[in-house]
Structure formats: C-alpha cells, structure tokens
Amino acid sequence: MFQLQNKTAVITGGGSGIGKAIAFTFAKQGANVYILDVDEAGGQAVADEIIQTGGKANFKKCNVVLQTEVKQVMENIIGNNRAINILINNAGIAHVGNAENTAEADFDRLIQVNIKGMYNCLHEAIPYMKKKGGSIINMASVAATVGIPDRFAYSMTKGAVIGMTLSVAKDYIHHNIRCNCISPGRVHTPFVDGFLAKNYPGKEKEMFEKLSKTQPIGRMARPEEIAGLALYLSSDEAAFITGCDYPIDGGFIKLNN
C-alpha cells in the first residue's frame, strides 16, 4: 500500500522541515522526487542524501514567487519525465503580529510567498496534470480556522490556501485531479528552534515545553508525521478523496477548549 512507483512528485520548500520529510518519505515509497527551494545548499543536500540511500531525487532552485522561474522548472521536469503526478505546495513563510503591528512590507511578503507562490505552482503544473490526472496537496494550517494570537497575516494567507484548494478540487475533478490540503498544528522544525533562539535566548527549553503543551496531545508533531498524511493523500488508496482539509494537530482544533 501507499506505493508511488513510477510517479513524479514535485515538492516546493523541500529543502527543510516538513518539505524535507515529505521528500524522503515519497522517495522511500518509489517516487521520483523533485525538490524546489530557494535554499540551494539545503535543497541539494536533501536530494543528495536521497540518492545516496537509493532513492530518486533532483533539486531545482526556484523562487515560487516568480512565475517565470516556476514555468521554466515545470517545463524542465516535463521534458525529463513527461508527467507530473503529484504536486506538494509546501513552500511558505511565517510571521508574528496582529493587525496593528504588522508592517505593510511583511503583509505584502506573506501574500507573495504563501498565496501567489502557491498560485504560480498551480498555474504551471495543472496543464500538465490534466493529461493523466494526479494529486495536489496544499499546506495550510490550523491558523486558517482557529483564532491564534499574533498570527494575523499568516492566518489570512492560510485561509486563502483552503479557498484555493476547494476551487481547484471543484474545477478539475473531471480531469482526475484531486486537490486536498493539510492543516498542521505546531510542528518541531528548524524554524521553531530558530524562532526560540532569536526571541527567547537562554529560555529555549522552557519556551519549547510551553509551546508543546498548547497541543492537547502534549507535544509538537514530527515532520515525518505530516509526511505520512501527505503520502496517504497522494497515493492511489486515497483516490476517492478530494476537496478536503485535513487537520493534523494533536487535538488542537477540537479539544483545546
């Protein structure tokens, strides 16, 4: 079950965190993985490690904000594989702030990366996917559906992700393209460690425990757990699933009363 043999998977933001975990998981299940990231060193390192462990992977430096770059990369992938079977729209950035203290430049930057970047990838990949069908997974967040303090702009962009997911699922259902989104709660990624080091120097461990306990299950998710859900939704076993948002949040949405 959940095999991805002979399938080409494009993973944006695959050079670290959740994207990295998805790349390793998909490659282990037989997919030919294309890692797209602006971080050339990180993305290439992930691809190299996958290859060294017997998997198939390629790295393409790509800024998802620039449609011309995304178009060129997608054309290159099609030239080598003749199909894009899976698209994981994972690239994104976070932000802390409310409606008053969020600067216009930060607001615009989040729209560019988290919304326009996802649109660019959808815009360039869907024409190729229409020929043979496929699975699209957009990375949303519990912040799209639950009020979280100081996440104004970030929550706004993730709400847009859910809207795009529903639209794509509806528009391309007869092309055998499924589109779902995943809404993680807090996940222990390098971003979390960097955030704590920057904002709570000397108190990283204490704040890590505090953030972990905001999840009713008592800990943060591991990136590999998010990757497991992405694998299922991308596999043939999920062929009857489209237009859904999947919280994976340790009970945060339903149990955090």
Asked if the model's pLDDT at residue 135 lies above 90, the reply is yes
Q: Does residue 160 sit in the same domain as residue 49?
A: yes
Long-range pairs, 39-47, Cβ under 8 A, ≥24: 39/15, 41/15, 42/15, 42/16, 43/14, 43/15, 45/15, 46/14, 46/15, 46/16, 46/20, 47/23
Q: How far apart are CA 149 and CA 30, in angstroms?
A: 41
Same domain, 86 and 125: yes
Question: Once rounded to an integer, what is the mean pLDDT over residues 136-165?
Answer: 97
Count of domains forming the chain: 2
State whether 132 and 211 are in the same domain: no
CA distance 203 to 205: 6
Pairwise CA distance, residues 48 & 37, whole Å? 14
Per residue in 47-79, pLDDT (tens digit) is 999 999 999 999 999 999 999 999 999 999 999
Q: Does residue 121 sit in the same domain as residue 241?
A: yes
For the domain that residue 53 is a member of, what is the CATH number? Answer: 3.40.50.720
- Domain shared by 199 and 242, yes or no: no
Q: Is 81 exposed, middle or buried (0-12, 13-18, 19+ CB in 10 A)?
A: middle
Query: Do 26 and 153 share a structural domain?
Result: yes
**Pairing label, strands 8-12, 177-184:** unpaired
How much is the average pLDDT of 172-196?
94
In a domain, 255, yes or no: no
Q: What pLDDT is recorded for position 25?
A: 98
Output the pLDDT for position 198. 87
Residue 205's pLDDT band (cuts 50, 70, 90)? very high
Of 229, 228, 225, give the one whose Cα is nearest residue 245. Answer: 229
Tell me the mean pLDDT in the region 155-168: 98
- Per the CB < 8 A criterion, the answer to whether 87 and 134 are in contact is yes
Q: 215 is in which domain, residue-wise?
A: 187-220
pLDDT single digits (tens) 212-241? 998 999 999 999 999 999 999 999 999 999
| Residue numbers annotated as active site | 154
Instruction: Verify that 117 and 37 share a domain, yes or no.
Output: yes
In whole angstroms, give the CA distance from residue 55 to residue 40.
19
The helix-helix angle for 204-212 and 190-199 (nearest 10°) equals 130
Q: Which residues contact 128 (CB under 8 A, 6 or more apart)?
A: 74, 78, 83, 84
What strands lie across the sheet with 134-139, from one edge to the other?
56-61, 32-37, 8-12, 86-89, 134-139, 177-184, 245-248
Q: Is there a single domain that holds both residue 130 and residue 209?
A: no
pTM: 0.95
Assigned domain for 161 exists: yes
Q: Are residues 213 and 100 in the same domain?
A: no
Tell me, yes or no, whether 257 lies in a domain. Answer: no
Asked if residue 88 and residue 60 are part of one domain, the reply reads: yes
pLDDT of residue 257 exceeding 70, the answer is no
